[in-house]
Structure 1
Amino acid sequence: MQLTTLKKLIFDKNIFAFLRLGKQVDTVYRTSFVTAANSSGLLNSLNQGEQSLIQLQQQLTIDDTKRDALEAWLECGVRLGELGFRSGRYRLKGKLSRHLAKQENQIAAAMFEEAIRYHYDALLSAPVRMKQDKAYQLSDQDGKVIAQSSQILEPFVEEAIEWSLKHTQPKAILEVGCGAGKYLVYLRDRLASSEITAIDYQADVVAQANQTLLQNNIKDIDLRHQSFFDMQGESLYDLITLHNNIYYFTEEQRQTVLTQAHKLLKPGGQLLMTTSCQGGSSAITALNLWFSLSDVGGALPEVEQLKQSLGQSGFAHVNSKRLMPGESYFAFLAQK
């Protein structure tokens, strides 16, 4: 390095500012790489053992014309310390990659992917999207990732289900938005003789729920690819559940959803909802941003506003319960 170049570097505050931010920049690179490595199947492949470039190309179904690009991408992982490379073979090295590659950590991996793919993108692109009126669409989400990520809430949702069953044993149940099917398994184990119907608007989510039911040898749940707004009839169910999906409806649609639920419930029947609400952690705040920028639904509900909407829909008794200590995650139980 020439002396004149060194002098410029010493007096250039931008260079030192960049160097101070180096660790933060590496964190962005690392989380981005590991997210893509997990969703592409790279972590799973390397979790089986060391692999050559050709083996990874075949397993990831990469065309020969893109082999150089694949090698460049893998080199990023090596430089970031998430992959190791020796004697022409790649291996898992970094703590984050090794942690997310484990089968027992797949829910955490899905949460990580949701945060990087959707929440981070919303934070990054919010000003542009608002200026260009470019809203997120439902197709921008991977239903399987979201369904798997939401499984982290399973213990809290099960607590809410028990809350709803405290004074009643419903004979006919409708689950609106079946997710990965985990709550259906819990309901079937808890209520062996109840008739259970479950619907979801996304076909890939229904397929995932069906697989979950088959894995648990459950064949007596009526699982449908259907919109809630297409449900016909009156006074059909003793319990209707909506878990982590009320914000998939616009604020105008929510009143219609609640009215429809009231119509479908038998007298004395209950509506159970679990949802993140406004006022929570940075993760919930980012989730609220994504839906505020989308045509999928709308901003997360406010607790008192949602209780008021339930009352306006005809429900006589409305109660709410904070499920997660210190977090804005609630259950709502309303009786017809």
Structure 2
Amino acid sequence: MASSKWSRTLRTAFSQPDPAAHALLLRDSQQLTRTHFLTAAVHLGLLEALKTPAPAGELAERLGITRTEQFRILLELGVSVGELSVSSRISGTAAAPGTYALKGRRARALVGRNGSVLRALLEEQTAYHATVYRQLPETLRGGDLGDHLPRYAEVIAESSRIAEGVIAQYVREAVSEADGGRVLDVGCGSGVHLRAASARPGSSGTGLDLQPAAVELARDNLRRWSLDDRFTVRQGDVRETELDGPYDVVLLLNNVYYFAAEERPALFGTLRGALREGGTLVLVSMFHDRNPTALNLDLILACTQGCYPLTTPARLEPELREAGFGRIRTDQLVSGQSLYAIRAS
């Protein structure tokens, strides 16, 4: 009987016009199902609740679930994709049958130490990026670019912390090597790079961001990190805001693509004017490349109001020189990825 079932499975698979493509798409579909489950589990609060294993009934009560049959299917799906476990015994201690717990590495990470960043990354992919791709046919045929930034500003600010470690280290080095420690962070997002700048004793400065949600997030974080006595955050557009210079270091991190190519020389001139003589502009960005990560970001940006396609370091260098920067250095921050830092002084 088993042999007969296996034969039918093989015949079904190879009856497809392209069996290999059929298998690959099925595998991709399963990965997408896992992503859908994790997204729903995050929004529901299920993963957070399962930091302590519990049976389905207790979980339903804690989460305010009234449609218990649908909830049961969701839990079974979590087990099926390997992100949850269900057992009658946990860690050698008797437990009621049907006790659920976190199992998969993704589920654990989403409520772990770096969970807020990973949750934001998941939300950015499944909400913001998915919306862009869903609207892409209309956009390519002349429809309006999506006005996504106001809705996803806080998510973008938090998810951009995925590269926080490597960028923060670069910021710490740049600020420590500057003549002084007064810092302006243009497009400060969550404020994490002001925290990196704070590693220099006595450093201080300002964060500037256009989006109110990002400004509030940065202010809350600076208070939580006990840095609000050294760094302030203002809402505004760098193109229209009086910058309270001079600064020793100006940071422009993961946001040069918010400025059109024709705007960049004036932007760099403005930032040069905010620096004291000998000061340094630190610019970090993903740049145009042929790898999927860069091209995906490139497409998302190009289809979003207020954003522009990725550029290259070679295109930025003459614009920086035109603005008065004489020494320009480019560093690749992640091997194999088009994440670069440009230090101009």
Q: Same fold (TM over 0.5)?
A: yes
Tell me if 1:243 matches 2:285: no
The match for 2:46 is 42
The match for 2:287 is 277
CA 15–148 in structure 1, closer or farther in 2 if over 3 Å, else same? same
**Is the 8 Å Cα contact of residues 234 and 266 (structure 1) preserved in structure 2?**
no
**Pairs within 5 Å for 1:312-327:** 312-327=322-337
Tell me if 1:256 matches 2:263: no
Give the distance between the partners of 2:142 and 2:41, measured in 1 at CA. Answer: 31
Give 3-state SS (helix, strand or coil) of 1:231's partner. coil
**Is the 8 Å Cα contact of residues 84 and 91 (structure 1) preserved in structure 2?**
yes
Give the distance between the partners of 1:11 and 1:317, measured in 2 at CA. Answer: 62
CA 177–233 in structure 1, closer or farther in 2 if over 3 Å, else same? closer
**Is the 8 Å Cα contact of residues 132 and 146 (structure 2) preserved in structure 1?**
no
Q: Percent of aligned pairs with the same residue?
A: 26
Offset of residue 305 of structure 1: 0.6
Tell me if 1:144 matches 2:148: no
The match for 2:216 is 207
CA 219–234 in structure 1, closer or farther in 2 if over 3 Å, else same? closer
**Pairs within 5 Å for 1:25-36:** 25-36=29-40
Give 3-state SS (helix, strand or coil) of 1:156's partner. helix
Give the distance between the partners of 1:272 and 1:72, measured in 2 at CA. Answer: 50
The match for 2:56 is 52
Give the distance between the partners of 1:49 and 1:305, measured in 2 at CA. Answer: 54
Give 3-state SS (helix, strand or coil) of 2:325's partner. coil
CA 233–36 in structure 1, closer or farther in 2 if over 3 Å, else same? same
**Is the 8 Å Cα contact of residues 123 and 286 (structure 1) preserved in structure 2?**
no
Residue by residue over 1:184-211, the C-alpha shift from the partner in whole angstroms, topping out at 9 and shown as x without a partner, is: 122122142x331111112222222222
Q: 2:278 aligns with which of 268, 289, 294?
A: 268
**Pairs within 5 Å for 1:72-151:** 73-84=74-85, 87=97, 90-119=100-129, 122-123=132-133, 125-139=135-149, 142-151=152-161
CA 299–40 in structure 1, closer or farther in 2 if over 3 Å, else same? farther
Q: 1:184 aligns with which of 175, 187, 194?
A: 194
CA 30–10 in structure 1, closer or farther in 2 if over 3 Å, else same? closer
Shifted more, 95-104 versus 302-311: the winner is 95-104
Q: Which runs of 5+ in 1 are unaligned?
A: 1-5
Offset of residue 67 of structure 1: 6.2
Offset of residue 138 of structure 1: 3.5
Residue by residue over 1:78-120, the C-alpha shift from the partner in whole angstroms, topping out at 9 and shown as x without a partner, is: 4444344575664434443234332344434433443444445
Offset of residue 44 of structure 1: 1.2
CA 295–20 in structure 1, closer or farther in 2 if over 3 Å, else same? closer
Shifted more, 183-192 versus 284-293: the winner is 183-192
Offset of residue 240 of structure 1: 1.2
Offset of residue 132 of structure 1: 4.9
CA 114–281 in structure 1, closer or farther in 2 if over 3 Å, else same? farther
Q: 1:232 aligns with which of 242, 260, 264?
A: 242
Q: Which runs of 5+ in 2 are unaligned?
A: 1-7, 88-96
The match for 2:343 is 333
Whose RCO is larger (CA < 8 A, sep 6+)?
A: 1
| Larger fraction in helix | 1
| TM-score w.r.t. length of structure 1 | 0.81
Give 3-state SS (helix, strand or coil) of 2:194's partner. helix
Q: 1:23 aligns with which of 20, 27, 52?
A: 27
Q: What value does the CA root-mean-square deviation take over the aligned residues?
A: 3.3
Offset of residue 286 of structure 1: 0.8
The match for 2:316 is 306
Offset of residue 273 of structure 1: 1.0
